[in-house]
């Protein structure tokens, strides 16, 4: 019998560190947008939506401005998703209750890795209109890009090995706020 090693989990960011990081990102977004009326936040499912909502609340707390906030699903735009014949792939609904034409849209995601999710999200976004510009905010940049995509706002750069996995947990989705690094069999991607 072969015994496989269990995954080793190491906490990289605790709840308070995540909160401070999001506060900093929110301040950076405000500093780079003189006209908050032309700003929109769009979270990428799943945890990017939660982070976009948190950034919305922080920006409103800092400035009094309520920035339009939406949710984007890019599942059907991915180049690495295959659906077996006869199967049905479901995805959460995109929610953009405001026009993105001429807006400065900040896409929000939890982790950027290869860049493929962001490429798919940009394609999905452009099916809903043509923003003036698109920026990217991520909580964690773990490196290993396969596409020339770079975030404009980064919470934390966490160099990782390809066999490791960064797992962002948020209280609204997972019951707790923390970022952990998984190494070992479960950490293999």
**What is each CA distance from 168 to 31, 136, 156, 180, in whole angstroms?**
26, 17, 12, 7
Would you state the pLDDT for residue 57? 98
pLDDT digits (tens, 9 = 90+) for 139-187: 999 999 999 999 999 999 999 999 999 999 999 999 999 999 998 654 4
Closest alpha carbon to 169 in 159, 181, 178:
178
Determine the average pLDDT of the residues in 81-86.
Answer: 69
Q: What is the pTM of this model?
A: 0.91
Domain regions of the chain by residue span: 16-160
Of 12-16, 51-55, 88-92, 116-120, the range with the lowest mean pLDDT is 88-92
Residue 79: per-residue pLDDT: 80
What pLDDT, in 10s, does the model give residues 98-146?
999 999 999 999 999 999 999 999 999 999 999 999 999 999 999 999 9
Tokens of 109: 């995601």
Q: In terms of Cα–Cα distance, which of 186, 188, 174, 177 is closest to 18?
A: 177
Radius of gyration of the CA atoms of the chain, in A: 17
Report which of residues 129 and 86 the model is more confident about: 129
Which residues is 106 bridged to in the sheet?
A: 41, 135
Q: What is the mean pLDDT of residues 82-108?
A: 87
Fold of 16-160: Rossmann fold (3.40.50)
Which of the pair, 18 or 189, is modelled with greater confidence? 18
Task: Please report the pLDDT score of residue 3 as a whole number.
Answer: 47
**pLDDT value of residue 189:** 37
Averaged pLDDT of the chain: 92
């Amino acid at each position: 019998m072969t015994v496989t090693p269990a995954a080793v989990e190491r906490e990289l960011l605790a709840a308070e560190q995540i909160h401070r990081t999001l506060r900093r990102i929110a301040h950076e977004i405000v500093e780079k947008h003189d006209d908050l009326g032309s700003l929109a936040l769009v979270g990428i499912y799943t945890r990017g939506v939660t982070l976009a909502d948190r950034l919305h609340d922080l920006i409103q707390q800092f400035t009094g401005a309520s920035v339009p906030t939406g949710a984007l699903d890019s599942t059907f735009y991915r180049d690495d998703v295959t659906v077996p014949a006869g199967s049905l792939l479901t995805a959460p609904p995109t929610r953009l209750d405001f026009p993105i034409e001429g807006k400065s849209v900040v896409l929000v995601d939890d982790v950027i890795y290869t860049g493929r999710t962001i490429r798919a999200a940009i394609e999905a976004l452009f099916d809903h209109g043509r923003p003036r510009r698109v920026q990217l905010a991520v909580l964690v940049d773990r490196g290993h890009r396969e596409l020339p995509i770079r975030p404009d706002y980064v919470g934390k750069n966490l160099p990782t090995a390809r066999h490791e996995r960064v797992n962002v947990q948020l209280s609204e989705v997972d019951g707790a706020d923390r970022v952990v690094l998984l190494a070992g069999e479960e950490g293999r991607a």
